[in-house]
A and B are shown apart, each in its own frame.
Chain A
Amino acid sequence: MSNLKRKFLPSLVATAVATGLVAGMTMTQAAEWTPPALAPLDTIKMPIPLDNKFTEAKVALGKLLFFDPRLGGDASVSCSSCHDPEQGWAWAEDFSRGYPGTTHWRNSQSIINSQYMDRQFWAGAAASGERQAPAAAKGGVAGNGENDIMEARLALIPEYVKQFNDVFGDEWPLIDNAWKAIAAYERTLVQTETPLDSYLKGDKSALSEEQVRGKAVYEGKGGCIQCHYGPLATGQEYLNVGVPPAKRWEEDGLAQITFRFEHYAKGQTEEGYRKAKSDWGLYYRTKNKWDKGKFRVPSLRYSKYTAPYMHNGSFFTLEEVVDFYNAGGKDEEGRTTPFTENMDKRIKPLGLSDDEKSDLVAFLEAFSGEEMITEKPRLPEYAPLFTKAELEEVKK
């Protein structure tokens, strides 16, 4: 609940709460809080960082770079490898595919609408798209690239040298500007036209009767709106909703390797490294035990194309997701989070009928418009920096 307050109470009140002056008032405020209604996405503006102004040329460069595998370790993996436009700008398996020789340990999230979010990654590890891109391109089980070789590659691609100069004024392409261009491109990957947006703007024919009934479940008995609210259909809170550990860790040696690596790399304690059997989520950032198993509530927009679902891709269909919540945060075998003490109190059995469940699933599909596909750009080629004659002229 503290996350809720921090985000939605007027800042003066939030300050008062934080300093503990009016503790009594807090309870009243929290009890009276109602989630903001779903709203069209074009009611909010895409945030643009002051230090990464938006230009057409930057977006064009960012698109090339997004698809260019030379921004990775062995030049075989680009952003688009794990965020494939054909797979919802994500990866259609439980875990993201990962760098060759590895697998990732979390589900790949869609790029569509991602840049509206306050932070990036499932546990919010990156503060912006500009920070997310290098973390992915350099992560050992993602891009496994290093700054210097990636920067060297860019310098040997004349088209990039020209564009980085035009866009950023770089004499030679600077790798940090590659991340800026990619983030700028990602800010163009938004979907504001969906049946839901049309409906909310007054076109009552945009939703079927079934979907209208589903909306009522969403906002009522299902309680989905409590976390999936507002224009983005998420309040971006970090919550433990009871998602069970991925079964793949029990069945796949490669996944077991990455599991241990992640705990090693994220600064786990020795004891934590030995004992962990699930993704501890927000804990890696805060090291608070009450944050174990918490992940950022994802947007439901574009989710029609981004199966499987949850931070570890545990559920392959929206029906399974609805069943999971209907059971009070348990999968069909009754598995749940190992950190039940951290589970959000609002997660409880919902008692939805089969009709209510199918209405709800139908409504969830209204969060997605047409599938967004883009043509892969033709990538510029390497060229030697010097001619043979220039090399022969060198006086030693």
Chain B
Amino acid sequence: MRKKGVIRRSHLLASLAIAVSCAITGMASADAPGLLPALKINKEKAELGKRLFFDKRLSGDAAISCATCHDPEKGYSTDKALSPGYPGNGHFRNSQGLINAAHKKTWLHDGRLGTNLNDVTREMLTEDYIMNMDMRIMQERVKQDPKYVEMFKAAGYGEPSNGSVRKAIPEYLKTLTSKGSAFDTGKMSDSAKAGQKVFNDKGCSSCHSGSMFSDGKAHNTGVPENFDVFLDPMNHQAFLAFTMFQGIPNFMNLKRDPGAAVQWKKADVSNYGTFMTPSLRELAQTAPYMHNGMIATLEEVVDFYNVGGGADSHKDAAMKPLNMKDQEKKDLVAFLQALSGDKLTGPEHVWKEAYPTEYPVIADWANQKN
């Protein structure tokens, strides 16, 4: 369940928004991939968002920041199959890389948020198994740091508030856009070029379409369950808290991830195990792969698709054995790697300054307005 101090949105509205955005993306899916559009960024707001993103004081017990699960060195994800989650519990899904998150229309592996990054930020901050932050406390923490007071003012937000925290972080996320990939710079190797042809001929592009290499829809590819979700009570408790809150029937006996079924719960559970097509950009930085981190390398991902994906009676009909030759597989991997660019680990993307170890006291407090 979410912490207090947040605006709740009805799931119906969210689902509607997802449906609309899917429809839009669907129409555009025939588009050939190209450069991502440039985003207009407010420098002061993004700078503020950057400081917030790396600040552990934005979690309930001040032990983790956004960057704990979205590490710049790992393409703003982690190298573990499952995200660490909040102290005291684990998690049940792989942490998604955040590079190009601002170019998406729906977010999270199950696509349950289809509005904007403000809502995504809220969900990450306030969910009990993620950052467990009561945003009223967050607001007062931020107000206690003079550097923030100054930065909020410079950003045009006035007094720090939880509302503007949720605006500033998305502004920062806009700065995390792919840069320097061989695909974007037109410097693909011959093998990568051959791989692009395999990518198109073998049908990868039917779901991984457009400049984001994603159709923005949910599919069942039969990715095997990650049993660590259920065998490790730390992870399982996060899964239970999540499915309980999402209103998934019979969650105590559930032994599989319902995936995008949280958006639309079919009685016959035929849409269980569907997950949003992920973008293929920056893959080289974000191993392991799939919603639950079950596949360690790109070579293994290609092998997985080459045999037509995993076992599931509701697997997407498009999933068929591809009969790729070894050279085709190598070329395909080379193409996938060509979709990855520079690491975004410099000071323009990462807040490098230390945070104060204590909250400074407001002098002459008794005579100051709160």
Taking beta carbons and an 8 Å cutoff, which residues of A are in contact with B? 70, 72-76, 99-102, 140-141, 144-149, 151-153, 155-156, 172, 245, 249-254, 256-261, 263-265, 273-277, 382-386, 388, 390-391, 394-396
| Chain A residues with CB below 8 A from B222, complex form | 396
| A252, closest chain B residue (CB) | B361
A273 & B370 in contact (Cβ 8 Å cutoff): yes
Given contacts A144-B132, A384-B236, A385-B236, contact A253 B60 (CB under 8 A): no
Given contacts A149-B128, A260-B370, A273-B370, contact A385 B61 (CB under 8 A): no
| Chain B residues with CB below 8 A from A254, complex form | 144, 358-359
A76 & B88 in contact (Cβ 8 Å cutoff): yes
Of the A-B pairs whose beta carbons lie under 8 Å apart in the complex, a sample of 19, sorted by A's number, is A74-B60, A140-B4, A146-B3, A148-B245, A149-B1, A149-B237, A152-B240, A156-B236, A250-B365, A254-B359, A256-B361, A265-B4, A275-B369, A385-B252, A386-B230, A390-B255, A395-B313, A396-B311, A396-B312
| Chain A residues with CB below 8 A from B89, complex form | 75, 149, 153
B220 vs chain A, min Cβ distance (A): 9
A385 & B230 in contact (Cβ 8 Å cutoff): yes
A257 & B241 in contact (Cβ 8 Å cutoff): no
Q: Is B366 an interface residue (CB 8 A)?
A: yes
| Whole-angstrom CA separation of A260 from B62 in the bound complex | 18
A243 vs chain B, min Cβ distance (A): 16
B132 & A146 in contact (Cβ 8 Å cutoff): yes
Given contacts A144-B134, A257-B359, A265-B4, contact A152 B241 (CB under 8 A): yes
A253 & B358 in contact (Cβ 8 Å cutoff): yes
A261 & B366 in contact (Cβ 8 Å cutoff): no
| Chain A residues with CB below 8 A from B225, complex form | 391, 394
Q: Is B180 an interface residue (CB 8 A)?
A: no
A74 & B88 in contact (Cβ 8 Å cutoff): yes
A256 & B362 in contact (Cβ 8 Å cutoff): yes
| Chain A residues with CB below 8 A from B141, complex form | 257
Q: Is B34 an interface residue (CB 8 A)?
A: no
For B50-63 the 0/1 string (1 means CB < 8 A from A) is: 00000001011111
| Whole-angstrom CA separation of A151 from B225 in the bound complex | 24
Q: Is B244 an interface residue (CB 8 A)?
A: yes
B229-264 contacts to A, CB under 8 A, are 230-234, 236-238, 240-241, 244-245, 252, 255-256
A74 & B136 in contact (Cβ 8 Å cutoff): no
B143 & A260 in contact (Cβ 8 Å cutoff): yes
| Whole-angstrom CA separation of A245 from B367 in the bound complex | 13
| Chain A residues with CB below 8 A from B134, complex form | 140, 144, 261
| Whole-angstrom CA separation of A76 from B61 in the bound complex | 10
A253 & B370 in contact (Cβ 8 Å cutoff): no
Given contacts A384-B230, A396-B313, contact A274 B252 (CB under 8 A): no
| Whole-angstrom CA separation of A101 from B137 in the bound complex | 10
| Whole-angstrom CA separation of A111 from B139 in the bound complex | 32
Query: What is the interface size of chain B, counting residues whose CB is below 8 A from a CB of the partner?
Result: 58
A102 & B137 in contact (Cβ 8 Å cutoff): yes
Q: Is B86 an interface residue (CB 8 A)?
A: yes
When the two chains form the complex, which single residue of A251, A384, A396 contacts B314, counting CB atoms closer than 8 Å? A396
| Whole-angstrom CA separation of A102 from B234 in the bound complex | 24
Q: Is B227 an interface residue (CB 8 A)?
A: yes
| Chain A residues with CB below 8 A from B311, complex form | 396
Given contacts A140-B4, A253-B360, contact A149 B129 (CB under 8 A): yes
| Whole-angstrom CA separation of A153 from B132 in the bound complex | 15
| Whole-angstrom CA separation of A391 from B311 in the bound complex | 14
Q: Is B87 an interface residue (CB 8 A)?
A: yes
B366 & A250 in contact (Cβ 8 Å cutoff): yes
B237 & A156 in contact (Cβ 8 Å cutoff): yes
Given contacts A74-B86, A146-B3, A388-B227, contact A256 B128 (CB under 8 A): no
| Chain A residues with CB below 8 A from B252, complex form | 155, 172, 385
Question: Which of A101, A156, A259 has the most chain B CB atoms closer than 10 A to its own CB?
Answer: A101
A101 & B255 in contact (Cβ 8 Å cutoff): no
| Chain A residues with CB below 8 A from B232, complex form | 384
When the two chains form the complex, which single residue of A99, A257, A276, A394 contacts B140, counting CB atoms closer than 8 Å? A257
Given contacts A75-B88, A148-B244, A249-B365, contact A391 B227 (CB under 8 A): yes
Given contacts A73-B128, A273-B370, A383-B233, contact A264 B139 (CB under 8 A): yes
| Whole-angstrom CA separation of A265 from B245 in the bound complex | 23
B255 & A73 in contact (Cβ 8 Å cutoff): no
Q: Is B273 an interface residue (CB 8 A)?
A: yes
| Whole-angstrom CA separation of A75 from B88 in the bound complex | 5
| Whole-angstrom CA separation of A385 from B229 in the bound complex | 11
| Chain A residues with CB below 8 A from B234, complex form | 382
B191 vs chain A, min Cβ distance (A): 36
Given contacts A140-B137, A254-B359, A396-B312, contact A100 B233 (CB under 8 A): no
A277 & B366 in contact (Cβ 8 Å cutoff): yes
| Chain B residues with CB below 8 A from A395, complex form | 313
When the two chains form the complex, which single residue of B87, B136, B139 contacts A75, counting CB atoms closer than 8 Å? B87
A146 & B241 in contact (Cβ 8 Å cutoff): yes
B279-326 contacts to A, CB under 8 A, are 311-314
| Whole-angstrom CA separation of A258 from B362 in the bound complex | 13
| Chain A residues with CB below 8 A from B314, complex form | 396
Known: A76-B88, A148-B241, A391-B231. 6 other contacts (CB 8 A): A101-B62, A153-B233, A263-B370, A265-B136, A273-B370, A391-B230
